[in-house]
Amino acid sequence: MYNYDLSGKNKYYTLYSLIRDDILRGKIKCGEKLPSKRVFAAELGVSVVTVQLAYDQLLAEGYVRSKERSGFFAERVANGLKGRQPSAVKAEEKGEGDKFAIDLVHGNTPPDMFPFSVWARLMRSVLADCGEHLLERVACDGDEQLKRAVAAYLYRSRGIDVDPRYIVVGAGAEHLYGVIVQLLGRDNLYAVENPGYGKISSTYALNGARFLPVNVSGKGIDISVLEKSGAYACHVSPSHQFPTGAVMPVSVRSALIDWTKRSGGYVIEDDYDSEFRLTGKPLQCMCGLCPERVIYMNTFSKSLAPSMRMGYMVLPPALHARFMQIFSSSANFVPLFEQKTLALMLDGGYFERHLNRLKNYYRNIHSELVKKLAALPYRCKLLDTGSGLHVIVKFPDAGSDDKIKAVAAAHGVNIKCLSDYLLAPAEGLDGCAVINYSGLTLDLLSKF
């Protein structure tokens, strides 16, 4: 029996899926003992670890149970799952957006776009080359080599000349938001963009800081409100605001810098998807304009993979000194192993090659998407700045945002509107769908 073909990649996952499907189909009966790991591994020509990983996964999901010293046994399949197609089960394991054929709300870069073989090769190099040095405690602001690689990358890609000493490596954007609160003070007021990315304001709140939503328009954040608010820091995404898609004009950038100088406050420049400018050059970062008052931050979760919890910020020298004072006895949150691998990826040019490939990919998606939108039987206008991985589509005759979402849902499309991202009331945003196309594929688009 167990005539399984594991010749592809990801042997463990393939084996797990094959056994799971056989249990679901009743080919492996309830109570039936699975082969011992050692025997099965020999039979399939894979390592014992592969079988163990597969069994562990089945155990974790409740498809098998384990009996001390006697092995693994197929479990009774829950009533809800019985008779279902294995593929249906798989779809149910996923989240909210998966009820829809097309999810334009969540969406992540397709995993097969990730240069996994390069990454794995660099990991093996790091493992062989660094050896036991990988076990050493990492300085609280990150590995020297990665910091230097990030500085060189920022110089190449964003044209800013950053001293690597002032870079802080962290476990993704959320972690860094929390560090900023610890650094700038919990009692201060943090201005955030409205509408905005909910995670920013919620993370400030979770860290015990007050936040103030300030309206953004095509002209960027409203400085007069900021002025009166007494805010200490202002968190913005000048290169591509989420969700409005606005690119902050240079005049607003300098007005913001002026505000920091008058108020003694800081700008937090969240450059989260600036890599994905599909046409032309991005505007200069604010951090280049005034390194003393701007905290620059970015993450690799969007450009590499959502499981890569790595981001960084460039601190003004005085804040970096404060950081080192607060965290001197702490270790960095990101394993040295991942830091060294990412450093090699940046230094070897692999990251930029990957980004170029991704950008080409998304250019195709974008142009197909534009065609599909033009063919819609509704009057609509694409508000597109050529930056980032989402666009705004205005439907002037829609009536209400709920109507837009309902019509989309009826076609199997999950969508949100600008109004869904409001933290406080704001006018003039009705009838605008936010289309995050980072999870779209040409295949999915062709079905419409």
Instruction: Give, as ranges, the residues between 51 and 80 that touch a copy of itself (CB under 8 A).
Output: 52-53, 56-57, 59-61
Which position among 18, 19, 22, 50 is part of the footprint of a copy of itself (CB under 8 A)?
Answer: 50
Dihedral sign for Cα atoms in the order 17, 61, 81, 76: positive
Instruction: Determine if 182 is a binding residue for a copy of itself (CB under 8 A).
Output: yes
Q: Residue 366 to residues 37, 108, 305, 442: CA-CA distances in angstroms?
A: 48, 15, 20, 10
Instruction: Determine if 403 is a binding residue for a copy of itself (CB under 8 A).
Output: no
CB of 181 to a copy of itself, least distance (A): 8
CB of 165 to a copy of itself, least distance (A): 10
Q: Which of residues 150-179 bind a copy of itself (CB under 8 A)?
A: 164, 171-172, 174-175, 178
The CB-side HSE value for 276 (13 A sphere, CA atoms) comes to 28
Which position among 269, 275, 338, 401 is part of the footprint of a copy of itself (CB under 8 A)?
Answer: 338
Instruction: Determine if 11 is a binding residue for a copy of itself (CB under 8 A).
Output: yes
Token pair for 77: 């399949």
298/387 with CB nearer a copy of itself: 298
In contact, 308 and 345? CB cutoff 8 Å? no
Phi, psi torsion values for 241, nearest 5 degrees: -70, 140
Q: Residue 168 to residues 124, 133, 164: CA-CA distances in angstroms?
A: 25, 21, 9
62/399 with CB nearer a copy of itself: 62
302/405 with CB nearer a copy of itself: 302
Instruction: Determine if 321 is a binding residue for a copy of itself (CB under 8 A).
Output: no
174/401 with CB nearer a copy of itself: 174
Which position among 137, 228, 281, 447 is part of the footprint of a copy of itself (CB under 8 A)?
Answer: 137
Instruction: Determine if 335 is a binding residue for a copy of itself (CB under 8 A).
Output: yes
Q: Which of residues 207-226 bind a copy of itself (CB under 8 A)?
A: 207-208
Cis preceding linkage at 213, omega within 30? no
Instruction: Determine if 232 is a binding residue for a copy of itself (CB under 8 A).
Output: no
CB of 27 to a copy of itself, least distance (A): 24
Instruction: Determine if 340 is a binding residue for a copy of itself (CB under 8 A).
Output: yes
Alpha helix locations (H) across 173-285? 173-184, 198-206, 223-229, 250-263
CB of 272 to a copy of itself, least distance (A): 15
CB of 330 to a copy of itself, least distance (A): 6
Q: Site for a copy of itself (CB under 8 A): how many residues? A: 76
In contact, 36 and 50? CB cutoff 8 Å? no
Q: Residue 287 to residues 114, 156, 161, 376: CA-CA distances in angstroms?
A: 29, 15, 10, 41
Neighbours of 115 (CB within 10 A): 17
Q: Which of residues 290-319 bind a copy of itself (CB under 8 A)?
A: 301, 305-309
Which position among 5, 112, 397, 427 is part of the footprint of a copy of itself (CB under 8 A)?
Answer: 112
CB of 131 to a copy of itself, least distance (A): 4
CB of 36 to a copy of itself, least distance (A): 15
Burial 339-363 (b: 16+ CB within 10 A, else e): bbbbbbbbeeebbeebeeebeeebe
* Cα distance between residue 16 and residue 61, in whole Å: 11
Q: Residue 106 to residues 178, 419, 438, 443: CA-CA distances in angstroms?
A: 23, 16, 8, 18
| Sequence-separated (6 or more) residues with CB below 8 Å from residue 274 | 158, 239, 240, 282, 285, 298, 387, 388
Which position among 43, 136, 161, 292 is part of the footprint of a copy of itself (CB under 8 A)?
Answer: 136
* Cα distance between residue 333 and residue 352, in whole Å: 25
CB of 14 to a copy of itself, least distance (A): 10
197/395 with CB nearer a copy of itself: 197
Which position among 49, 88, 406, 442 is part of the footprint of a copy of itself (CB under 8 A)?
Answer: 49
Identify the CA nearest to 304 among candidates 143, 159, 116: 116
> Among the candidate windows 6-14, 241-249, 255-263, 376-384, which touches a copy of itself by CB under 8 A?
6-14
DSSP SS3 for 246: coil
The H helix count followed by the E strand count for the chain is 16, 16
Which position among 260, 298, 332, 385 is part of the footprint of a copy of itself (CB under 8 A)?
Answer: 332
* Cα distance between residue 284 and residue 205, in whole Å: 30
170/388 with CB nearer a copy of itself: 170
DSSP 131-174: GGGGGSPPPTT--HHHHHHHHHHHHHHH-----GGGEEEESSHH
CB of 280 to a copy of itself, least distance (A): 25
Which position among 36, 125, 229, 284 is part of the footprint of a copy of itself (CB under 8 A)?
Answer: 125
Instruction: Determine if 348 is a binding residue for a copy of itself (CB under 8 A).
Output: yes
271/338 with CB nearer a copy of itself: 338
